[in-house]
Amino acid sequence: MRNLRLTIAYDGSRYHGWQRQHGLVTVEGRLREVLSPITQTKVEMFVAGRTDAGVHAWGQVANFCTASQIEPERLRRAANGRLGPDILVRRIEEARPTFHASIDARAKHYRYRLWAHPDKPPYWLAPYCFHWYRSLDVEAVREAAQHLLGEHDFKSFETASKQPRLTTVRTICRLDVSRDGPRVRFDVVGNGFLYKMVRNIVGTLLEVDGGRRRPQELPGILEARDRAAAGATAPAHGLTLMRVFYAPRRPPPAGLQEQGWT
């Protein structure tokens, strides 16, 4: 069996999220429909980030196993030809047999886009940014964001769900707010994210812009460990999964290699 690793970009607008659901159009569902006949495999995928309905991806990573001998680049072209314009398989590569897109992920980079201006965004940006009807106080939002950097219990920023997790402690190693005219980006990199955590963080930081909260309130919100302490959930269509980070591939210790334990 081969283990194939895919890097996938998609426009989440028309999809009910990543994960296959009976009777709903999902990104995973579409990929399975397309990859299964080409590889003559009942494709079962593992994915780095199960994006929600309406969330986009530029660098989503998934893997699946197949006995098919098809060359990766041929598979990629065949899949892209069958998929619509809103899903693009950017890369397919052979992965080591034990590679798992979710378990092996070390960090993820999410970008949340805002159009901060009284006017609507231009039509080609509209599906990918949340319209914030005024300019943004970037300085205040940045000051608030600083309090979330590092390792914290992010329970206050977790929307309740049935997704199992051992802990609500996560580490955010980057939370940058940048502006280019009316375009604002929140770039968030962390070792893992609770359910709707990025959107809850952005929604809370936006309340600092409105003056409803002060930047100094952020530590208290973390301490509360209560969803009600934080702000609203920012809409899905502003969010894009940009990249998933994995450990660099090191060769296994020589002894194991010789015995074929790769």
Q: Which residues are catalytic?
A: 52
Task: Answer yes or no whether residue 9 interacts with a copy of itself by CB under 8 A.
Answer: yes
Q: Where are the beta strands (DSSP E) in 67-162?
A: 87-95, 105-116, 130-132, 150-153
Interface of this chain with a copy of itself, residues 32 to 61, rule: CB under 8 A? 56, 58
Instruction: Out of 33, 40, 74, 77, name the contact with a copy of itself by CB under 8 A.
Output: 77
Q: Which tokens belong to 210?
A: 């409105």
Q: Which of residues 130 and 154 has its CB atom nearest to a copy of itself in the complex?
A: 130
Could you tell me which stretch among 28-36, 87-95, 180-188, 245-253 binds a copy of itself (CB under 8 A)?
87-95
Nearest to 63 by CA among 88, 83, 91, 37: 91
Task: Answer yes or no whether residue 205 interacts with a copy of itself by CB under 8 A.
Answer: no
Let me know: does 154 contact 138? Beta carbons within 8 Å. Answer: no
Task: Answer yes or no whether residue 235 interacts with a copy of itself by CB under 8 A.
Answer: no
Which helix (H) or strand (E) element contains residue 178? strand 169-180
**Phi-psi region for residue 43, left (φ > 0), alpha (ψ -120 to 50) or beta?**
beta
Q: Which of residues 123 and 261 has its CB atom nearest to a copy of itself in the complex?
A: 123
Task: Answer yes or no whether residue 261 interacts with a copy of itself by CB under 8 A.
Answer: no
Q: How far is the CB of 126 from a copy of itself (least distance, A)?
A: 4
Which helix (H) or strand (E) element contains residue 74? helix 72-82
Q: Which tokens belong to 198?
A: 């990025």
What mask, x for binding a copy of itself by CB under 8 A, covers residues 109 to 148? ---------xxxxxxx-xxx--------------------
Q: Is 182 helix (H, G, I), strand (E, B) or coil?
A: coil
CA distance 157 to 168: 9
In this structure, the number of other CB atoms found within 10 A of the CB of residue 70 comes to 17
Q: Which of residues 114 and 201 has its CB atom nearest to a copy of itself in the complex?
A: 114
CA distance 177 to 180: 10
Q: Which tokens belong to 72?
A: 């990766």
Task: Answer yes or no whether residue 239 interacts with a copy of itself by CB under 8 A.
Answer: no
Q: Which of residues 124 and 261 has its CB atom nearest to a copy of itself in the complex?
A: 124
Instruction: Out of 27, 75, 87, 144, name the contact with a copy of itself by CB under 8 A.
Output: 87
Q: How far is the CB of 42 from a copy of itself (least distance, A)?
A: 26
CA distance 108 to 189: 6
Could you tell me which stretch among 25-33, 64-72, 82-90, 227-235 binds a copy of itself (CB under 8 A)?
82-90
Positions in the binding site for a copy of itself (CB under 8 A): 9-11, 56, 58, 77, 80, 85-88, 90, 118-124, 126-128
